[in-house]
Amino acid sequence: MIQEIELDEDHKKILDILYKYGEMNISKITRLAGLHYRTTVKKLEELVKIGLVEERRFGRLRLFRIKGRIWGILELKRQL
């Protein structure tokens, strides 16, 4: 279930980066978005919580990507 949250510009930047480049780690997302590391972590955790982004962990490495079903919706929206 997707919870309601108002997406701010930082959320939108992160979603756009994940849409454009696919699965990425926090450091790379931080660099591309021009955000502070802690801000990026907080925004990613919020996006995971509401169901737009999913996280995979490999030891200490955390990778994030747009959730599968949402990916299709974004792709369709971009084509319109």
What pTM did the predictor assign? Answer: 0.80
Give percent of the chain with pLDDT exceeding 90. 69
- Using alpha carbons, list the distances in angstroms from residue 22 to 16, 31, 36: 10, 15, 20
Domains and CATH numbers, the chain: 9-79 (1.10.10.10)
How far is residue 58 CA from its own chain's centroid?
Answer: 18
What does the mean pLDDT of the chain come to?
Answer: 86
Whether 76 has a pLDDT exceeding 90, the answer reads: no
Contact 55, 41 (CB under 8 A): no
Q: Which of 24, 76, 80, 31 lies closest to 47 in space, CA to CA?
A: 24
pLDDT band with cut points at 50, 70 and 90 for residue 74: low
Q: How does pLDDT run across 14-53, given as a tens digit for each residue? A: 999 998 999 999 999 999 999 999 999 999 999 999 888 9
